[in-house]
Structures are given as C-alpha cells and as structure tokens.
Amino acid sequence: MTEELDALKAALRRVPEADPAARHAELDAALENFDRHLDAMEDRAADEKSAGRQETAAPARPIPASPRKAGFLTGVRDMLKSLSPAGLLAGTTSLAALAVAVVALGPMLREGPPATPKPATTAEPSGAAQRDMRAEPSGPEHAHGAGDAAPAGAASETPGMEAAPEIAAAPQAAETAKRAELQEAAPMPEMEAAPAPAPLARTRQAAPAVVGLAAPQDIAPPLPADTEAFANAEANPVKAVAEAPVSTFSVDVDTASYAVIRQSLTSGHLPPKEAVRIEEMVNYFPYAYPAPEGDRPFRADVAVMPTPWNAETRLVRIGLQGRLPALADRPPLNLVFLVDTSGSMEDPAKLPLLKQALRLTLPQLRPEDQVAIVAYAGSAGTVLEPTSATDAAAISAALDRLGAGGSTAGAEGLALAYQVAAQMAAPGEVSRVLLATDGDFNVGISDPQALEDYVAQQRNSGTYLSVLGFGRGNLDDAVMQALAQNGNGMAAYIDTAQEARKVLVDQLSGALFPLADDVKVQVEWNPAQVAEYRLIGYETRALRREDFNNDKVDAGEIGAGHQVTALYEITAPDSPARLNDPLRYGAEPVPQTGDEIGFLRLRWKAPGANESALIETPITGAEAADADARFAAAIAGFGQLLTGATYLGDWGWDEAIKLAEGARGEDPFGYRIEAVNLMRLAQALGR
C-alpha cells in the first residue's frame, strides 16, 4: 500500500506533457463515464418507481445533513465512490492529469474542443445533466434561467432561509420543474405564509400601542435625519448705516435650537447648519440682569465691549429682564396637554420621555389650576376631562394610558385641544395648550398657512400655544416654530429628563404666564459713530422698519421672569475693519447730540391689550461689559463656528473655549460648563 501511495504522490507531482490530442481523449473518456453513471442512476430510479417505491432514495440511505449540489464535480465524486481501491488509485491519477489540463486549456475548453469524433453519448446531455445545468448556474446572469427576468423584489439569495436538502435519487424532469415553479412563487418572509422577524427600522405606519419604556429588543435605530426640517434663513449681512440706519426685530425666548445642537453633538455628529439659530443658543442661558423697577414689566440692560474675533469692531449686547411676580399673584391656570401619540412617537426618546416630562409639571401647579389631556394619532380624542391639579393620581394614570400608533392628525388634535381649553376658561384665568410632539404632522394639514392662521385666531381669544419637541429623525422644527410663534407661545426641544426639568419646572412661569405681548426691538445707529452693523441671529424674527409702530403686527412674547439677549457687531467710520466703501454721493451724517452710538426703542403690549407702550434708552458706548456679556459673546461665536460664518477670521475653537471658560462666573446648574464641553466636542468632530 505504501508503494501505491508513493506512486500516487509521484503522479500528482508529475505534470503531463502538453499533448492536445491526449488531453481531449481523456476528457471525452471522463465525460462518457460520467454520463454512463447518470444513466445508470436514472434506470435504477425508473425500476424503483415501477416497483411502487417513492421517487426519493431508498429509506436505508440517509439524507445528508447539508445540501448536495448537482453538477459535474458531484457526478465525478459519485463515480469515484463506486470504484475499487485499485481503480480509485488509477482514477485519481487520471483526474489529477485532467485537472491540470482543464486549468491550462480553460480558454480552449470554453470555445469548444477541436472537431474530433466524439462518442454519441456526449453529443447531447442526458436529462440528469440538463437538470444539473439548471440547478448549478454558471453566473448571476443565469439566476432565473436564460432569458427569464427575476421576480420583482426577489434576490438571488434570501437571508435566513436554507436550501432544501438534495434528493438522493434524481427526480423526473417534470417534478423538478414543478418544484422550481413553487420555489419561485413562494411568498417573501414578510408575507403571511412566512412571517418575518420584527423589523429593524420604525416606519410611520400604524403600530400597536406602547405604554412606558420599550423593551430593549423593541428599540429601533432612529429614523434618518434627512426627514427633518428646520426653520432658518440666511445669516444677517453687514449693513451700512448710511443706507439702513434702523434695525428692527421681534424678541425670541425659544431655546429649541441649543438643545437640538447638544443632542447632535452628544450623539457623535455635528448638527445641520440650518438647525443652528444663534439667538436661541444665546438665550438658553440665564444672566444676572437687573430687575425692572416700578410697574414696568421688564427692563433693558446694555453692555459694549471689544469684539472677541475682531479687535477693530465692538459688540453691543442688549438684555431684557422680565419681572417675576409672586406665586400668589398668578391667576388660575387651565392647562391642556395635547399629546402626539402617532406611530412616530413610539421611540423611547419620544413618548416615554414625554410622559416623564409632563409629570414634572404637576408639583408646580396649585389647587385652583386644572389639567386636561387630549391625544391625537389617526384621530383625536379626550383622554382626561378637566381635572383639578390636586388629583395627581388621575392625571398620571391618564398619561400611563397613552400609547403610540397610527398617523398624525395634528390639525384635528389642535382643534379639539382649543375646544377643551374654551370649556375650561373663566374670567381672570389663563388658558394654555401645551403641544408635545416630534412635529410629524402628516394628516389633515393640506394648507400649513391655514393652520397657522387658525392658531393665530385662537391666540386672540386668550388661549396661547407652546410647543415641546421630542426625538430626532423626523423632527419638524419648522412646523413647531411656526405654531409657537403664531400661538404667542414658546418652542423648546426636550432630549433629556434634565432638559424637561429646566423647561417645565425652572422656567414654567415664563412658559405659561405672559408678562408682555408683541415685544419689538428697534435700534437706530448714529452714522457719525457707526458706519456698519450686523445683528447676530434673529433671522427668522426680522421685522420691517414700519412694523415697529404698527400694533397690528404680531411679535414675540415675554413671560414672567423671562430674559431676552441680542448682540450687534458694529464698526466705526474710521475702522480698518469697515467692509463697505463710503458712498460717493451720500449725504453727510447729521450731527448727533453727545457721544451716543445708537438709540434703543422697545414696544410692548400688556396681555390682552390692543395698544402698545414705548420704552426708550440711549446707547452711549460707555456701558461696561461683565462676565455675562462675555459669555454671551462666546456662545455667539460657538454658533457662528458651527455654521461656518465668514466674519470670524482666524478666530476658532480654542479662542471660543478660552473665552467661555474665563466668563463662566457662577454656574449653579452647570449649563455653562456643559457648553464648554460641547465646544470641545464640536472641535473634535470637526467640520
């Protein structure tokens, strides 16, 4: 036996001489033996069928654990198994020579052998060989047979599905074709016949109700961010005072943009540029502005300092501080929670966090306050009738009953919420609708402008609307901003329980109790002192100059204890940083009194009033800047770095971080150090 093995090894190492005629003869002989073997198998199958047996192999022969593939190599293997040891040795040597020939003459074999006589058995493949050719395609183009198109939606392989074990005895051609047709007609896993596993990604289709936090295996990846929409506009340009000496805008106390930026950065990616609204970033932080005196609802505070990113310009910071009335002076509150329970709210960062956030408001309410809950998905409905705020158990139980599922009938939900609020209203009381949603309104809003007009009409009745955003992926920030602005309310984004506490506990009074309506800011710059100016942010709050004195033009609101901060960058006429050339035919600037660089005017209305009041304050340029002003400047720089603004020169992340760290001051809630860490994170992520 050892000698035979040595001879086999020697034969395997020896490369036959390249004799084309001998190679083709050996190949023909192998093919002839192969066809004879298959014919013998067919004859045996026919005999067994005539004897009443099944078309599968004899019961004594086990079915292999894994599928056997049909084809040339399978036939050769079966042929070798039937040989004796001596024949096996000789056959193996022949196969080794045959393999070398196939590799060397591959191109010739694909083109076909020379015109030499071949046995009749090789002129036409047998039925079994034809079946092997169908079962073992030579490439992807034969996946469904020559000239056949693949079924729609089908793939060449279906993940998670195993091929059926091969039948031991070759079946008849008709049965094979029938089985192939059944295989092609079999339903895909997601159909009824073979249900698929739970989907990996959420859709906006109807979903079963979910109460509380989802189980870990039910948590799906967030939806793609390309379905989000943000309210923004082109950055304010530098304006020449000689051409446009007056700047007018509506105040803004929203903070949604900063929370969205934080959520993006902590998730490991930079926020979309359109999500960055610098005024909302600056107004996110509390500042130590002086309280108003007397009966005035708020007080203006001005600071002037060198611009951190341009030594040749100056920053003017304007701060407004609203009065915070005593708790006993607040009127009774009628609060309607309008909760989005559509399928898109199923994510744990949405409806479960929303419930947790709304529960935080309950301890802040008083016995004379009332709460109602309206939910909307495919349709709207009242979940909790008006209930005393002291019945926290009933309110909490109603929140527990909320589950996500269905489409988003936002217009119907708003209409029902306003109806409930009207039923709760009484003279001297405050009515508020607090909409909690991801902004995915997809049912009942064929005309967004009509919806905004409807909200504006309702605010005239005294019921204001504030909007809380939850979750990412399909966040419609643009709709949320439009609703809040037209509803005389605020817009906030809640991504954590801590943010929920900030908005609904620490700032609840400002969100729900109005102090001044339609607050407008107008600054007139002295052309003798200022050649150019740029308002940083407030692009979506810009007003025309004539809107300032028009009491019919809606503007922003200031709630109890609220603050508003705005920043201007100004350039002196003789500054080398001036970007616009003086007009050749421009009029000489009119001499101004004193050294004023500008004049600040504020218009506001008492809640429910039709006529506005006016507050005026000169800006001298000598107003000192404190740590609060410098920190606000650092945050404004933070926002401009995120948007890639062109006004910063070489000033970058290192300078912004240093400025913010040096101006942190007292930071009892950790908001400012969080901002510094976000700057570091944004720097690391890069843009």
HEC letters along 297-324: CEEEEEEEEEECCEEEEEEEEEEEEECC
Report how far apart, in Å, the C-alpha atoms of 144 and of each of 74, 152, 525 are. Answer: 22, 12, 77
Beta-carbon contacts of residue 85 (< 8 Å; ≥ 6 apart):
none
630 against 77, higher pLDDT:
630
Q: Return the bridge partners of 575, or none.
A: none
Residue 198: CB atoms within 10 A of its CB come to 8
Contact present, 518 and 605 (Cβ < 8 Å):
yes
Summarised one tens digit per residue, pLDDT across range 85-110 is: 445 444 544 545 454 444 444 544 44
Segment 264-275, tens digit of pLDDT? 999 999 999 999
Q: At what angle do helices 351-361 and 392-400 cross, to 10 degrees?
A: 170
pTM for this prediction: 0.67
DSSP structural state of residue 519: E
Residue 9 has pLDDT above 60, yes or no: yes
Residue 387 to residues 89, 357, 362, 608, Cα–Cα distance (Å): 93, 19, 12, 26
**pLDDT bracket for residue 125 (50, 70, 90):** very low
- Band of residue 26 on the pLDDT scale cut at 50, 70, 90: low
Q: What pLDDT shows up at residue 207?
A: 31
- At residue 456, the pLDDT reads 87
Average pLDDT of 329-341? 92
163-167, 251-255, 450-454, 611-615, range with the lowest pLDDT = 163-167
Measured distance CA(551)–CA(249) in Å, rounded: 14
Interacting residues of 450 by C-beta distance below 8 A, sequence separation 6+: none
Residue of 163, 198, 197, 318 lying closest to 629 (CA atoms): 318
| Nearest CA among 537, 492, 533, 535 for reference residue 512 | 492
Of the ranges 52-56, 441-445, 479-483, which is most confident?
479-483
Whole-angstrom distance, CA of residue 168 vs CA of residue 45: 10
- Radius of gyration (Cα) for the chain, nearest Å? 39
Reading the block at residue 41, the tokens are 């198998």
Whether the per-residue pLDDT at 185 is higher than 70: the answer is no
Structure confidence at residue 549 as a pLDDT band (50, 70, 90): very high
As a whole number, mean pLDDT of residues 587-608 equals 81
Mean pLDDT computed over every residue of the chain: 76
Beta bridge partners of 246: 524
Structure tokens at 230: 């943000």
What the block records as the tokens of 261 is 């930026």
Q: Indicate whether 261 pLDDT > 50.
A: yes
465 has a pLDDT exceeding 80:
yes
